[in-house]
Structure 1
Amino acid sequence: MKKITLLLFVFCATHVFSQDMKTLKSSAKKDAQAACDATIKEDFKTLLTYTHPNILNAAGGADVMEEYLKTTFSQMKAGGFAYEIAETKSVSNIVKEQGEYRCYVENYNVMKMSGKRIISTSYMLGFYNETAKKWTFVEAKEMKDTGSIIAYFPDFKTSLKIPENTMEMTEIKE
């Protein structure tokens, strides 16, 4: 009887864990897409709610970062830059390391600028805030040893093998 009880417990625990991982993965995709949608709409207040707090703190707060994004996007638009597509394609497996859930998400972006179309695949590293039940993200390539933001994450280590970004540029023929 003890063996049967143990087997049932293990089965139930595994099933619940599996369901939790599916839920986390689904919420990571939903939150990453919300960040993409906010980027397209230039809704920087919303976008910054999906930005990891370490980045906001390093920038001097959400208000400072929002003004920076407004200025940057305004300058880019003046130069002919426009987003056409920003969408989340997939989410990696969720891992729990250093006391938090993490994943990476694959984003597909299409932009145009100066008569060229830029098609890119980029990756964001996601961190799950269990209290807020929300994912926040950072640009994954910047979390590598040579990245510009890794310094804002002391003792950061991950087992996730994040792919390299890709980019292709073509002439727009209209």
Structure 2
Amino acid sequence: MKKITLLLFVFCATQVFSQDIKALKSSAMKDAQAACNATLKEDFKTLLTYTHPNILNAAGGADVMEEYLKTTFSQMKANGFAYEIAETKSVSDVVKEQGEYRCYVENYNVMKMNGKRITSTSYMLGFYNEATKKWTFVEAKEMKDTGTIIAYFPDFKTSLDIPENTIEMKDIKE
């Protein structure tokens, strides 16, 4: 009888954990797409709510970062830059490491500038904040040893095998 009870307990615990991971993966997809939508709309206040706090702190806060993004996007638009598509394609498995849930998301972007169409696949590293029940993201390639923001994440290590970004440029023939 004790063995059966133990097996039932293990089975139930595994099912609950599996459902929690599934829900986390689903919420990562939703939050990553919300960040993409905010980028398309140039809604920087919303976009920054999905930016990891370490990045915001390093930049001097959300207000400073928002002004920087407004200026940058304005300059890019003046040079003919436009986003056409920004969408989240997939979410990796969710792992718990260093006391937090993490995953990476695959984003697909199509932009145009100076008669060229730029198509890219990029990856964002997601961190789940259990207090706010929200995912925040950083550019995954910048979290590698040679990245520019890894320094803002002391002792960071991950088991996630994050793919490399890809980019393709083609002349626009309209």
* TM-score bracket for this pair, using the shorter chain length: over 0.9
Which residue number in structure 1 is paired with residue 163 of structure 2? Answer: 163
Which residue number in structure 1 is paired with residue 71 of structure 2? Answer: 71
Which residue number in structure 1 is paired with residue 98 of structure 2? Answer: 98
Which residue number in structure 2 is paired with residue 118 of structure 1? Answer: 118
Matched, 1:138 2:113: no
Aligned residues: 174
- Listed one character per residue, the Cα deviations across residues 103-156 of structure 1 (whole Å, up to 9, x for unaligned) are 000000000000000000000000000000000000000000000000000000
Cα distance in 2 for partners of 1:18, 1:57 equals 34
Q: TM-score, normalised by structure 2?
A: 1.00
Which residue number in structure 2 is paired with residue 56 of structure 1? Answer: 56
Which residue number in structure 1 is paired with residue 88 of structure 2? Answer: 88
Matched, 1:9 2:15: no
- The runs of at least 4 aligned residues of structure 1 exceeding 2 Å deviation read none
CA positional deviation for 1:102:
0.2
Cα distance in 1 for partners of 2:6, 2:88 equals 40
CA positional deviation for 1:41:
0.2
- The root-mean-square deviation of aligned C-alpha atoms, in Å, is 0.2
3-state SS, counterpart of residue 138 of structure 2: strand
3-state SS, counterpart of residue 169 of structure 2: strand
Q: TM-score, normalised by structure 1?
A: 1.00
CA positional deviation for 1:10:
0.5
Which residue number in structure 1 is paired with residue 173 of structure 2? Answer: 173
3-state SS, counterpart of residue 85 of structure 2: strand
Which ranges in structure 1 are unaligned for 5 or more consecutive residues? none
3-state SS, counterpart of residue 6 of structure 1: helix
Which ranges in structure 2 are unaligned for 5 or more consecutive residues? none
Cα distance in 2 for partners of 1:11, 1:155 equals 35
Matched, 1:37 2:42: no
> Percentage identity across aligned positions?
90
